[in-house]
Amino acid sequence: MGILSHVMRISMKWGAHSSVGQSNRLITERSQVQILVGPPSLTFFPILIFKGALMNNDSFQAFIDLVDFDRKSFSLQAEIEKAKKDIEDLNNQKIALEEGIKDVKENLHQIQKDVDGGELEMKDIEQQVASKKKRLDDVSNQKEYVSLTHEIENLQNKQHEMEEPLLTAWNKLEQAKQDVKTKDAEFDKKMAEIVDLIEKDEKKIDDLQIQLEAQAKEREEKEKLVKPEWLEKYAVMRAQVQNPVVPVEQGSCSACFYDVTSQRLIELKKNKVVQCKGCYRFLYLKSEEE
């Protein structure tokens, strides 16, 4: 139907079925945009972004191209942020693994101490029993003999009482050693996997950064095709929302799904500046909508 018609307008994105919390946020955001660009009741905004209500198609198409270009850059930046978050999560997994293997080894160390202490005490009792038995041969009276015999009996009873706990400690020690061996193998495997994933994410970030730098240089050339006043206002718009310029799709704002009236659609087709009444974004028509 002739030359493509495009129109712009600022806003904050909200869904067709927003929750109460989202609606409250939208009210705040819409208020901020109203302060920036004023109410959406006006059809023309020559002092905001355009010098006239009717737009030159070539100039505006260059602007739309810049908007689309920036969306790609934003997508790259989003990928970078996701990769950074993934690295953060992986580093947390490393810490958890290190703490886990540390706990297992500390448990082994404590059990080993218990076993060593029990064995040392058992050995000491054995030495006491042997010493007292030897003294029995040298006793000079019945009273001393009975006393030594009683002491030996008490030591042997204590020795018997210690046997079962010490046996349990030995079993625990063997299990703890096996646990450490298993955990060590798991630790090495998982740590290697995590390190590999981190390296891949770091490389991904480097590659994306290179792409972003190339995009930045290319953007400078695209900016030259757009009017300075449009660039200035667009910079302000981008600070408010990620997608301040959106197309009309199926008769509605593609950001907030607010219906665009027939009168507004006519204005759009005449290359007039139209602002969404729902979210305050600037609207434009794609060729299939004309």
Model confidence, pTM: 0.59
Task: Identify residue 77 by its one-letter amino acid code.
Answer: Q
pLDDT at residue 15 above 60? no
Residue 19's pLDDT is: 39
Q: Residue with structure tokens 């390296």? A: 199
Q: What is the mean pLDDT of residues 5-23?
A: 36
Both tokens of 117, joined, read 């202490």
Distance between CA 101 and CA 88 in Å, rounded?
Answer: 20
- Give the C-alpha separation, 244 to 276, whole Å: 11
Asked if residue 97 lies in contact with residue 191, where contact means CB atoms within 8 angstroms, the answer is: yes
pLDDT, one tens digit per residue, over 140-159 is 888 888 998 999 999 999 98
Averaged pLDDT, 216-240: 85
Domain 20-289 sits in CATH 3.10.20.740: no
Distance CA 27, CA 36 (A): 14
Rounded Cα gap, residues 198 and 184, in angstroms: 21
Residue 8 banded pLDDT, cuts 50, 70, 90: very low
Cα torsion 245, 250, 256, 261: sign: positive
The rounded distance, in Å, linking the Cα atoms of 273 and 281 is: 11
Please choose, from the candidates 70, 63, 82, 84, the residue with its C-alpha nearest in 3D space to the C-alpha of residue 212: 70
φ/ψ of residue 259, rounded to 5: -65, 135
Distance (Å) of CA 90 to CA 83, 94, 187, 194? 10, 6, 14, 6
The better pLDDT of the pair 280, 77 is held by 77
Q: Which two tokens stand for residue 115?
A: 């076993």
| Alpha helices for the chain (secondary structure H) | 20-37, 57-136, 142-223, 228-240, 262-269
CA 119 to chain CA mean position, Å = 51
Residues of the chain with pLDDT > 70, as a percent, come to: 78
**Closest to 56 (Cα-Cα) out of 242, 227, 193, 267:** 227
CB contact set of 9 (below 8 Å; sequence gap of 6+)? 37, 40, 244, 245, 273, 274, 275, 276, 280, 281, 282, 283
Query: Average pLDDT, stretch 223-234?
Result: 83
